[in-house]
Each structure stands twice: as structure tokens, then as C-alpha cells.
Amino acid sequence: MPELPEVEVTRLSFADRIAGARILSVDMGKPLRWPLQCLPSSLVGRTVVAVRRRGKYLILDLSEGLLLVHLGMSGSVSFASHLPPAGVHDHFAMRTSQGQLRLNDPRRFGAVVYARGEDDPVAQKLLGKLGMEPLTDDFDLRLFHSGLKRRKSSIKQVLLAGDVVVGVGNIYASEALFHSGIRPTTRASSLSLARTRRLHQAIRSVLAQAVLAGGSTLRDFSDAQGAGGHFQLEVMVYGRAGQGCGVCKSTIRAIRQGQRSSFFCPVCQKA
């Protein structure tokens, strides 16, 4: 599943090129996770002002309203002056004066949703409960610590929930917990301010490193220009069960938490 780094990498790969483009046509394929919420033809003539990101949502600010784009489990966005004919898994195509934007989503868990603005109930339903953005100054240590103090679940589950801090997906949660020396099963509310500070720093560092590496391509992720990511080559614990820890040489372990695999070093992450 594309997580925050992959979505940010996707944004960076086409945001500047589509800014200022006038929408010429919009075509929909098979139904996606949520309806578009407007007639495709009603978008024609509007201008793409900018592309932002909130959590795992791409936000295309239009001259009137905005489009929220979610990549779902296996979606990817392409943007180019010329694209091949739409395939069976291409479910949204927006032709603009500067190129064509297309969403390819084999599993159709992604979505493109129109809203009049961020205060629109349609947008609030998707964005309103998202946690702090970890790569911005809004990711406040004290607020992060107080949010964790209210949660009795394991720290790994709290990070994945996205209502305290957004976008720390499975790969990046495992890596951040390793770098901060915290076991994924540790109760979130038990973390001291000092340990929370280490985790806060590790989350920012791991996510920033992943963006620089182009995200993680475990199966089929690619950015809007078709380039894959390389962060999966830099991981310390994720997907390395049975291998030696790069720090202490102990064997990396894997456990199941909420239907997801968690990876950790039993020595470097004692509690």
C-alpha cells in the first residue's frame, strides 16, 4: 500500500508540471471506492492551481473546489504529455492543457473525490480525523506525547491508526521503532517524554529518508513519471525476519499485530 513517502514522492513528481493547467476533459472508468461527487464534465474549464498532500491524500487545488486523490492499496498516478490508450485498470483520466493525469488502480480501493473546499463535509469526512503531519512543524513533541498517553494500545497499532500522527505506515513504523529502541508491543501510554522524543525524531528521520529514496517499491509502486523507489534496500528490520540485526547481529523477529507483520530486534528494542 502506498504510504506517506510514496504519496509525497508522487506529488513531487508532477506537482510543478501540472500547476496552472486548464482541465480539458475528465473520463471515468469502473467505479472506485467512493464516487466523484460531481459530474466529470463540470470540471472542464477549471484550472489546477497547486498540488498538496494531507496524510495519504493528494489534494489538487482547483480554481473552484478541489480533488482528493487516494491511491488505495495498489494505485498509482501517471502524468505525461502523451500516455498510451487507457487500460482495464485505468479508472480516472483528466486531460489538461499541460498533459494527462491518470489513476491506475487494479484493486479499485483508491478514489478521486471532488469537494467544494476543505470545510466541505465531503472533505471533512476524509481529512477531519487525521493526525499531525510528521514532516511539518505541526508535528509537536508535547502534543504527540499527550496523544500517546491517552492510548492503551501497543505503540505500533497507535502509529498505524493515523489519528495521533498521520502516514506512519507499516514499513516506516517498524523502522522508526527500531531507530528509537522501542518494541512494537510496548503500550503507547507507557512511553516517557524522553522515549517519545526519540520516537518523534525517528519518525521524522525515517520518513524524510524514505522520500529522498523515492519511497518503497515492494511490488508495483512508481511515481507519476514511472520511477520506482529504493527505501526497501535501506531498511534495518522490515521484512528481515531471521536475518541478523545490522547493529547487534541478533536475529530479527516478526510477530503479527492487527493482521499486520511487525519486525523488531529483541536486543536493540528491549521494551
User: Which residues are marked as active site?
Assistant: 2-3, 56, 260
Report how far residue 44's alpha carbon sits from residue 15's, in angstroms, rounded to the nearest whole number. Answer: 19
Helix (H, G, I), strand (E, B) or coil at 236: coil
How many CA atoms within 13 Å lie on the side-chain side of 30?
12
At which residue does the C-alpha cell 522524543 appear?
197
**Short-list 135, 132, 130, CA closest to 204:** 135
Looking up cell 473546499 gives 117
Instruction: Please give the Cα distance from 220 to 75 (Å, whole number).
Output: 9
For every residue of 93-155, DSSP letters joined together read EEEETTEEEEEE-TT---EEEEESSTTSHHHHHHHTT--B-TTSTT--HHHHHHHHHT--SBH
| Element at 207 (helix H, strand E) | helix 193-212
Residue 25 gets the label, from left (phi > 0), alpha (psi -120 to 50) or beta, of beta
Say which residue the cell 500522527 belongs to.
165
d(CA 180, CA 237): 13
Kind and range of the H or E run holding 203: helix 193-212
